[in-house]
Structure 1
């Protein structure tokens, strides 16, 4: 997936900024959300958009909730980074959540991920306040520091019985989750190394459904 802005798209944004446009700026074919301008509190992405580009809604001080239609499959790098009031995100068809997409969203305590999600990339939710997360059963990758320093209290990763592909959890993915107490990992879930759950002081139980295949 390509979530980065082209030079032409950067020019579209610059033109919109010079014209003091407020709201969503989309690619000419309507398939990509390039940027959201202005002080938006609520934003609903238009149906037909497949990609939220890198940094599209990052650093929006007033943004509180966002709705992504079923057409959106890719959420780019830093798409919502450091939105301090963002507390609600609705996503229905997303497959890829990019680096630092929701990092530093200090009001984000719960996210409901659709079953379509396959990749949660590096630092995607790092330093947010997430206390609950449902990990989809067809997940393939949870990246480096994906949930580092969050408020997670428990974690269940249960792969679908009809999905033989392994899920790889990369190093430090859940590091420094100070409230994490219990973890369950089903078969075909693999830990990249022994730092995945490092510095989780109250973590008492890590249950593996199938230990011989659970660790790399």
Structure 2
């Protein structure tokens, strides 16, 4: 199966519903969707893009884990939680636009997303959990607009980071930017 269009009557994608659908390239998610559960799309190696509909508040643990070819992810403004490991090893993602209502970026949520280059953490984010962006080797610029708690190793091993722009007053734990080559920190405060 390369393509799926889901009925708008569906409100959740259950645990492991599409896991290991290795030839799935495109899926149209239902308009009434509220949650994408644990591992719903893990190991969907061919999935290229995903548009998360408005109304979804949570992308659960490992939802898109190991979707190697996933390039484009569009998040709704309603999204509040990106769970642990949600996009781990999604090596094709270059850019992520986090919604303003986002509160939590889970542990290892984007670990090893090799193509991710630039991120803006919006003002509403309260916590960036441990190793959230660990080993994102192409990540070169991070903007933090609010005052989240940034756990240890959140950006560890992101050796391409050369600029961090801090607009708020984040609480930065030890080792949060360990093994980064930060050249410039811009903090207007």
TM tier relative to shorter chain = 0.7 to 0.9
Of 76, 86, 89 in structure 1, the residue corresponding to residue 60 of structure 2 is 76
TM-score (norm 2): 0.88
Q: CA contact under 8 A between 1:25 and 1:36: conserved in structure 2?
A: no
Matched, 1:205 2:189: no
Q: Name the count of aligned residue pairs.
A: 180
Distance 1:24 1:105 in 2: 22
| Residue 206 of structure 1: how far off its partner (Å) | 2.5
TM-score (norm 1): 0.77
Greater share of helix? 1
Q: CA contact under 8 A between 1:24 and 1:36: conserved in structure 2?
A: no
Q: Report what 1:3 is aligned to.
A: none
| Residue 187 of structure 1: how far off its partner (Å) | 2.9
| Residue 25 of structure 1: how far off its partner (Å) | 8.0
Matched, 1:97 2:82: yes
| Residue 94 of structure 1: how far off its partner (Å) | 1.1
Distance 1:197 1:133 in 2: 14
Q: CA contact under 8 A between 1:123 and 1:147: conserved in structure 2?
A: yes
| Residue 23 of structure 1: how far off its partner (Å) | 4.4
| Residue 50 of structure 1: how far off its partner (Å) | 0.8
Q: Report what 2:96 is aligned to.
A: 111
Please, what is the CA RMSD of the aligned residues? 2.0
Matched, 1:148 2:127: no
Matched, 1:157 2:136: no
Q: Please tell me whether Structure 1 or Structure 2 has the larger radius of gyration of its CA atoms.
A: 1
| Residue 178 of structure 1: how far off its partner (Å) | 1.5
Following TM superposition, where does structure 1 have runs of at least 4 consecutive aligned residues deviating by more than 4 angstroms? 22-26
Deviation sequence 1:148-188 (CA, Å, 0-9, x none): 111211111012xxxxxx41000000011111001122333
Q: How does 1:13-92 map to 2 (within 5 A)?
A: 23=4, 30-34=10-14, 35-36=17-18, 38=21, 39-92=23-76
Matched, 1:170 2:154: no
Distance 1:132 1:206 in 2: 15
